[in-house]
């Protein structure tokens, strides 16, 4: 499954109302570690089609970043059936990303 751009306008339908696991990547264009994590996130999206993978640009979606207290990027949040149940801050290897979504 390809990644989905998440905004404040589609957050409810794409994340909270999704019946399953959603992995959100809070990132920014200027963030070096975010750019390093992007291929990992893309691989996870391709290899785990049952998981919805969303990307939240913190510069464009400051309201969402503030709502979840995002102070450092990259930050990954995991939602299960609309409830937040996992978080990771900073660059992590693919194996740790996969543990988050299990």
Catalytic residues: 31, 34
| Pairing label, strands 4-5, 52-57 | parallel
Closest by alpha carbon to 91, among 2, 23, 27? 27
State both tokens at 18: 């999704």
User: How is 5-33 classified by DSSP, letter by letter?
Assistant: E--TTTHIIIIIT-SSEEEEEEE-TT-HH
Closest by alpha carbon to 27, among 57, 67, 3? 57
């Amino acid at each position: 499954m390809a990644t989905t751009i998440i905004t404040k306008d589609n957050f409810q339908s794409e994340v909270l109302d999704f019946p399953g696991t959603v992995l959100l990547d809070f990132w920014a264009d200027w963030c070096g570690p975010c750019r390093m994590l992007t291929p990992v996130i893309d691989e996870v999206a391709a290899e785990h089609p049952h998981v919805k993978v969303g990307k939240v640009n913190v510069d464009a979606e400051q309201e969402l970043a503030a709502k979840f207290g995002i102070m450092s990027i990259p930050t990954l949040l995991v939602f299960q059936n609309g409830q937040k149940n996992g978080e990771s801050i900073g660059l992590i290897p693919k194996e740790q990303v996969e543990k988050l979504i299990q």
